[in-house]
Structure 1
Amino acid sequence: MQSSRVFIGLGSNLGDSVGQLVAAICAINDLEGTQVVNSSSFYQSKPMGPPDQPPYVNAVAKLTTTMQPHDLLRSLQKIETALGRIRDGERWGPRTVDLDILLFGEETIDTPDLTVPHYGMAEREFVLVPLFEIAPELIMPDGHPLSVWVSRCSLDGLKRLPSSNRT
């Protein structure tokens, strides 16, 4: 089977956020036909949405997978549920873990449950900076280098966590 290069955005702001992201990366690596090739440092960021929530811890993982995009999405949602994610309908609310498919090979997907490239990626420093850390040579879907996207985003409130916090 053909494998695809995929980038996953990870975020958490409830409970042991660093521990949740470590557990999520391990669970992703355990998916059939999937291998985590690299993961970024962890970054603390301001929450999107309601301001009365804790800061987020974010990262990006690069993986290869033989799974199809919607199968991977369902598997990621199962990991979220196993790690305590409760889907209460609140958009951008606090959560134990959030796993988003950012890029799936060269594919463009626009279905009711999956949009790839991820729709808000270009404005999110907590996605772009960790993505740049592990894939600085990446050319984005609009044909521009990732470095151009990073240069256009605000880094306000983004802080790289010490590596000792990752384990």
Structure 2
Amino acid sequence: MMLNKALEYSTAYLLLGGNLGDREGNLEKAIELLDQKTGRVISVSSLYETAAWGKTDQPAFLNQAVALQTNLSALEVLEHALNIEQELGRIRKDKWGERLIDIDLILFGNEVINIPDKLQVPHPHMQNRKFVMEPLAEIAPDVVHPVLGETILTISKNMVDPLEVKKLAKL
């Protein structure tokens, strides 16, 4: 007799962003599609507006953090995110360039994953970017960064990033 193995769920934390078209509408659609195709959305941060980072001669970004309960692997979550970006019209041209939607996998449970040129979790630059840490700290303040060993809130409060991040409203 075989026993059914219970599905194991992980919490994935993603950062959504965009600076073209209906920025807020694109984030809403991305969240809907993540909930339908990738796992159950369990938490969504407020909207945050941020000047462009990396390539600064472009419109400001709207960013939002999302927590997702999923039975998929981190790589599968990434593949779903890339497919959703494409479905919403994302065209990859310039690194750090303008985009309708961007979905980055920031944390996946307490896993540390390094698949060169494909996936790094935790996101390798998250702790240096206020536009990632502020929305993430809103929905996951007590989550511990699996490499740095500090909570998201502590990292967020102690970081040095001159880029202004303005909290707007919750969707």
User: TM tier, shorter chain?
Assistant: over 0.9
Task: Indicate the residue corresponding to 2:124 in structure 1.
Answer: 119
Aligned residues: 162
- Unpaired stretches in structure 2, ≥5 consecutive residues: 1-6
Deviations 1:46-88 (CA, angstroms, capped at 9, x unpaired): 1112211000000100011001111111111010001110012
Pair 1:40 & 2:49 matched? no
Distance change >3 Å, CA 134–CA 155, structure 1 → 2: farther
Length-normalised TM-score, structure 2: 0.90
Pair 1:159 & 2:166 matched? yes
Residue pairs, 1:14-163, within 5 angstroms? 14-31=20-37, 34-88=39-93, 90-111=94-115, 112-141=117-146, 142-153=148-159, 154=161, 156-163=163-170
Distance 1:49 1:135 in 2: 26
Identity %: 36
Query: What RMSD, in angstroms, separates the aligned Cα atoms of the two structures?
Result: 1.2
Length-normalised TM-score, structure 1: 0.92
Tell me which stretches of 4 or more aligned residues in structure 1 moved more than 4 Å: none
